[in-house]
Every structure is written in structure tokens, then in C-alpha cells.
Structure 1
Amino acid sequence: MLLPAALACGAVVFPGLFYSFRKVLRQTFTNWTDADVVSVSERLVSAIHASLATAAGVRVVAACRDVMTDNHWLTNGFALFGAPYMAQDIYAMYLSHYHTQRVKGQSSSHSFHTVKAFLKRDWMLVLHHLALLLIFMPVTLFFRRGLGDFFIGCFFITEFSTPFVSIGKILIQLGLDDTRLHRINGIIVLLSFFTCRILLFPFMYLMYGRQFGIPLHKVAFHLPLHCNMGNLLILAPQIYWFILLLKKANRLYLRQKRGKGEGGKDRPKMD
């Protein structure tokens, strides 16, 4: 009874939050376009889901002494609770793209062309969400035979960096992208993303090896091929996104450096 209730709860909570944020933001920021409202609403819901996922992951990991056989009810419960978010967020991303195109005068209605342009631009994020919904959730619920709750909890913790990514985009929307707060948040994004989306993988191998007395560099050879391949498929886009974050941070740093240099030239010399 708990699992269907978790799914139903997620199907109400995340679309409800998205609708509520849109309504409140539209009334609060009357000068914002529909694209602004939808974009920020999407980011707020994303931050809430990621915070809940991280909290669930920490609870599961802390409760599992045996990385293979220990169980916690939150593992399957949150997998089902979070599933509707994946579908809702794909819709929210599309809606954000649609309204942005309308503001630019490039689209006036929902059409196959609009959907195609959205999928072309955000195909990796859409694929990521669909993989979590259609592969990760069934594996979690049906195919792992109750083993590895610890590792599922670790995968939940990968969402830790998402609220900071969302905060960064919201700060840009509010015109605060040239502030110290935005720079500090950017540093937190890089550190949290690298720690919880990349270093987390060798950490999982380390914990498995520690339990069974296997050196870290030999753990991969003791695991089934499909486990290593699955981890590699999840890790690869994380590395790609981290590289994009580094490039964005570098562009921001160079832009601010140029701004300071130009400001220095305009400043009158002191005798």
C-alpha cells in the first residue's frame, strides 16, 4: 500500500508545486514574461525534488551497514515518489522552451517543429530523465532482488548539486549574476557537482571493496560487466556536464576580469 501511495503523492506534489509557483510568481513579478515565470518555477521545483532526493539518499546510506543486503523503505518509496517529477520536468522544460521561443518571435503555437527544436536543444537532459524513469526506476523496484539499497541511496545523493545550479539560474533571472552571492554559489556548484556526481562513483567502489576486502583498483574486476557498464553510462554525462560548468565558470571569470580592467582604465589617476 505504501508504494502506490508514494507514486500518487509524487503525481500530486510536483505538478502542484509547478502550478503554484507559476501562479505566485506571475502575481509577484508582474513585469516578467511567461518564459521567465515558467523557467524560475521549473528551477524551484527542481531544487525541492533534489533536496528531498539528497535527504532520502543520506538516510538510506547511513542506515545500510552492509552495502549489498541491508534495506531501507525509503529506497523504493522515494524512487516511486520521484518518478512523476521526471515526467513533469520534461514537460516544464518544454514549456520553458516554448515560451522562450514565443518571446523571440520564433514560435506562436505548439507544433511538431517546436517539439523537435526543444528535443534538439535539450536532448541529453530529456534522455537523462527518460533513462531514470524507464530504466533506473524499474531496475530499482523489480530487477535488483532487494540488493544494493546503499548504492541506490548514493545515486539519490547525486542530486545534491542541483539546488545550487537552480539558485544560480534564478540569481541570473533576478539580475544578480554580477554579485558576490552568484560567484560563491558558482564555486559551491563546481565543488558539489564534482564531489557528488563524479567522486561518488569511486566512493561506491571503495565501500564495496572495503566490505569484501578487495583493493579499490581491483573492485571493477569483481563486479559483473553490466554493473560497470551501467555506472559508466551514468558517469559519462556527469563528466560532460562538469566540463560545461568549468567552461561557463571560466567565461564568467574572464568577463569579470575584462570588466575590472576596463573599469581601471576609466578610473582617473591620482596625483
Structure 2
Amino acid sequence: MFTALVCGAVVFPGLFYNFRKVLKYTFTHWSDADVVSVSERLVSAIHASLATAAGVTVVTSCRDVMTDSHWLVNWFVLFGAPYMANDIYAMYLSRYHTQEARGDSSLYSGHSLQTVKAFLLKDWMLVLHHLVLLFIFLPITLFFRRGLGDFFIGCLFTTEFSTPFVSIGKILIQLGLDDTRLHRINGIIVLLSFFTCRILVFPFMYWMYGQQFGIPLQRVAFHLPLHCNVGNLVILAPQIYWFNLLLRKANRLYLRQKGGNRDGNKGRPKTD
């Protein structure tokens, strides 16, 4: 298992470093903020794709949702741990260079406790999400499950399915393609995949547990230990918050495009 941790520690920081080098050389007109932001998104998309593949493999391999096990669960948890730490650093670096590009006077002295504090205040929920996965989810998965519930861990891996599409949307905006049909189609995929794999996956897990033990879906929560229900709520709550943000953003884009089309049609003669 130590091999998985070392592999992750090499792969994800290595990808981030090399993407920054390649993008800086390829898109010479991009700022450091642009390069770091897109590099972060690319690494995030790769990690999410691997997590989804691992999750699907585990879920389809487990017949008994409680007792069946798969070696990929513990291996990928350790492999993905360095990604979480690297992504916090990448998010900080992206925020730092973005503020620097805007001429924030507080950054003139370079990296400092002040810049770290500003980052944590701005992106506290994402940072907390990563830290919870690192310091709570990882130990529970490796040491406290007693080999049970690999199926459910696999389901949680698949919640990353929407992340590559979120990353694609950010990259399309970076490339100036935010007013294209491709961006709109990708936005629809983001909403559908996020709702399916990050929200509906929780009732799906409860339903599968009920199917295993002959319990109606509405009664499953009462047959589970309190800490299981609390843990699921802790993971689900930010997903609902982020989905709400995605819906608001989609609505703003729709209204903006609708307003733009209306303005573009002003003064045109009717062609009945």
C-alpha cells in the first residue's frame, strides 16, 4: 500500500508541474493565473476520471454490499491522498496569481500568512472538503471499517464523475469559448452528472442496502448506525450547496444569452 501513496505523490504533483511548463510554453499570452488555473483543472479532471473508473470497478464487482471487498478501494484511497494535498496548494497558487493579476496591493510582499489567510477565507469550503477526505475519510476507510462496505466506498468514488465536465467548462471559458454550443452542452452535462452522481447516489446506496436486507427505502436510515447517517449527511450537504451554485450560474448564463438575443433582434423587420 505504501507503493500507492508514493505513486500518487509522484503522479499528481508531477502532472501539475509539467502542465504548467507546457501551457506556459504553448500559450505565451497567458498570465501565470491562467496557466495555474488550467493546470489545476487538468489534474483535477485526470484524478476524477481515475476515481470514477475505480468506483465503477468496485461497485460492479461487489455482490454483497456489506461484506464483499476489492483491493482497489484501499489502494486508490492512498493513491489519491497526495492529490488532495496538491490540489489545496494548486488552488492557493491559482488564487494568489489571480489576485496578483488584479493588482492586489496586499500581495506586493509575495507569499505570506496574509495571502494564505485570504485564500482560506475565500475557499474555506473546498479546503475543508479536502481536509475532511484526508484526515477523516482516509483513516476510516483504511483502519476503522473492519473490511466492510467496499461497495459504498466505490459509490463515493463515482461522485467524481461530474468533475471532468466542470473542468472542461472552466477551460472553455479560459479559451474564450464560453458563448459556444459546446460550452452550453457541457453545462447541461455538468448539471445532470452532478445531480446524478453527487446527490442521487446517496438514496441509491440506501436503496441497495435495503434490497440486500429486504428493508423499504424509507426505513433504511433507521436500520443504520447513527454515525453512518451523520457521515452521509456531512458529505451530502456541500454537494447540495454546490449544486445550488451551479443552478444559479446556469440561470444567469441563460438570462444573459436570452437578453443578448433579444437585443440582437431589435430593429430587425418582421419576416412573416
**Is the shorter-chain TM-score for this pair beyond 0.5, marking a shared fold?**
yes
Q: Name 2:193's counterpart in structure 1.
A: 192
Alignment correspondent of 2:5: 7
1:46-105 Cα distance to aligned partner (Å, 9 max, x none) = 000000000000000000000000000000000000000000000000000010111011
Give 1:270 shift. 5.6
1:9-66 C-alpha deviation (Å, 9 max, x unpaired) = 0000000000010000000000000000000000000000000000000000000000
Shift of 1:174: 0.4
**1:59–1:259 distance in 2 versus 1, CA, 3 Å:** same
Quote the Cα distance in structure 2 between the aligned partners of 1:136 and 1:96: 26
Cα deviation, residue 112, structure 1: 1.5
Q: How many residues align?
A: 269
One of 86, 92, 111 as aligned partner of 1:94: 92
Counterpart-to-counterpart distance in 2, 1:252 and 1:266: 24
- In structure 2, the partner of 1:151 is 152
1:103 to 2:104 alignment: no
Counterparts of 2:14 and 2:267, CA distance in 1: 51
Give the superposition deviation at 1:267.
Answer: 3.6
TM-score by length of 1: 0.98
- Match in the other structure for 2:127: 126
Per-residue CA deviation, residues 196-230 of structure 1 (Å, 9 max, x unaligned), is 00000000000000000000000000000000000
Q: Does 1:73 align with 2:68?
A: no
- Matched with 1:45 is 43
Partner of 1:33: 31
- TM normalised by structure 2 equals 0.97
Runs of 4+ off more than 4 Å: 268-271
Question: How far apart, in 2, do the equivalents of 1:122 and 1:25 lie?
Answer: 25
Deviations for 1:146-184, whole angstroms, at most 9, x for unmatched residues? 000000000000000000000000000000000000000
Equivalent AA in structure 1 for residue 235 of structure 2 = I
Match of 2:250 in 1: 249
State the SS of the aligned residue for 2:67: coil
Identify the range of structure 1 (104-113 vs 155-164) with the bigger mean alpha-carbon deviation. Answer: 104-113
Q: Which residue of 2 aligns with 1:16?
A: 14
Code of the residue aligned with 1:252 in structure 2: it is: L
In the alignment, structure 1 residue 169 sits paired with structure 2 residue 170: yes
Task: Kindly state the Cα deviation for residue 266 of structure 1 after the two structures are TM-superposed.
Answer: 4.5
Secondary structure of the equivalent of 1:78?
helix
Query: How far apart are the structure 1 equivalents of 2:137 and 2:77?
Result: 9
1:102 partner letter: E
The equivalent residue for 2:53 is: 55
Q: Tell me by how many angstroms 1:269 deviates.
A: 5.4
What does residue 221 of structure 1 align with? 222
C-alpha distance in structure 1 between counterparts of 2:267 and 2:146, whole Å: 68
Matches of 2:31 and 2:267, distance apart in 1: 36
Shift of 1:268: 5.2
> How far does the alpha carbon of each residue in 1:108-144 deviate from its partner, in whole angstroms, 9 at most, with x for none?
3111111111111100000000000111111100000
- AA aligned opposite 1:22: R
Give the structure 1 partner of residue 113 of structure 2. 112
| Larger deviation, residues 111-120 vs 204-213 | 111-120
The one-character-per-residue Cα deviations of 1:213-258 (angstroms, maximum 9, x if unpaired) are: 0000000000000000000011000000000000000000000000
Secondary structure at the aligned position of 1:164 is classed as helix
How far apart, CA to CA, are the structure 2 residues paired with 1:122 and 1:266?
45
- Distance, in Å, in 2 between the alignment partners of 1:248 and 1:168 is 12
Aligned-pair identity (%): 81
Amino acid aligned to 1:147: L
Q: CA–CA distance in 1 between the matches of 2:122 and 2:266? A: 40
